[in-house]
Amino acid sequence: MRDAKCASAATRERVLQAARDIGYRPDARARLLRSQRSRLLGVQFGLQHPFHSALVEGIYAAAEPAGYQIALSAVAAGRGEQRAVETLLADRCEALILLGPQAPAARLAELAGQLPVVSVARRLRPSIQGVEVVRTADDEGARQAVDHLVALGHRDIAHIDGGRAPGAADRRRGYRTAMDHHGLGDHIRVLPGGLTEEEGAAAARTLAAARPRPTAVLAFNDRCATGVLDVFLRSGVTVPGDVSVVGFDDSHLARLAHIDLTTVGQDIPRLAQLAVGRAVARLEGDGTPVREQVIAPRLIVRGTTAAQN
């Protein structure tokens, strides 16, 4: 079963056939326990975030060639981050990769004192010791979106923000910086929003009724932007005829033909590769943390933005 060299080909085949007949599968984790290592990377992710789903796929692709397995633990409406992390620790994970963690920084530092921790898609203060960060330059992504809209002739550009979500503060800052850069400081308009379609829809209802109504909207993420598109459609506000809309993440939602959303893309394979690479490096003997790795975003222009009429 271990592919050892002591058995003849005929004997090996008889044993393997017997295993197939009874449905036997070797217990990989039991083997690892004998070596005193689990070779498990624990991944905390948000169950309802398409962006996290794509990251998990990339993490699997990066971990398996490196000889590591993945243990997943979801954050959901009835299951918080603390419970998700406790489950991973109970599974004897050797390192943690946390996707968009919202736990207090002190808690992340506490975890980093126990095992290698990589935070993906959240900026942390330099004073948070031991936690490695892999993220997109969110502020640059927001600036790219505003630059694109301004080039199309838009001046009244609103931003639906992400509240306290990871990356939200950087995207707000990038939006404000870009608006000021273009001399549009008087047109800055930030509305409370969030990560979900419902939160985007609530903000869109305010915008649809506003006078004057903005000619362009930068939403916190693609889910939020999808809620905006739904409300505008129901309200008779045409996109991009009346209002241009930009999302963030380039999730599968943005690529659907009937949505065709202009969005700021994150390099998900690269983020996943770097996150796994840092976790594995720490486990394999490179004990020097790399404080932060920041990946450039790129604007992806589709059908929800157009020149202002």
Q: State the pLDDT at residue 177.
A: 98
pLDDT tens string 45-55 = 999 899 999 99
Q: State the pLDDT at residue 287.
A: 58
Q: Is the pLDDT of residue 119 over 80?
A: yes
Q: Is the pLDDT of residue 307 over 80?
A: yes
- 3-state secondary structure labels for all residues of the chain: CCCCCCCCHHHHHHHHHHHHHHCCCCCHHHHHHHCCCCCEEEEEEECCCHHHHHHHHHHHHHHHHHCCEEEEEEEECCECHHHHHHHHHHCCCCEEEEECCCCCHHHHHHHHCCCCEEEECCCCCCCCCCEEEEEECHHHHHHHHHHHHHHCCCCCEEEECCCCCCCHHHHHHHHHHHHHHCCCHHHCEEECCCCCHHHHHHHHHHHHHCCCCCCEEEECCHHHHHHHHHHHHHHCCCCCCCCEEEEEECCHHHHCCCCCCEEEECCHHHHHHHHHHHHHHHHCCCCCCCCEEEECCEEECCCCCCCCC
Mean pLDDT of the chain: 93
Q: State the pLDDT at residue 289.
A: 67
Q: State the pLDDT at residue 33.
A: 55
Instruction: Please state the rounded mean pLDDT for residues 145-171.
Output: 97
pTM, entire model: 0.86
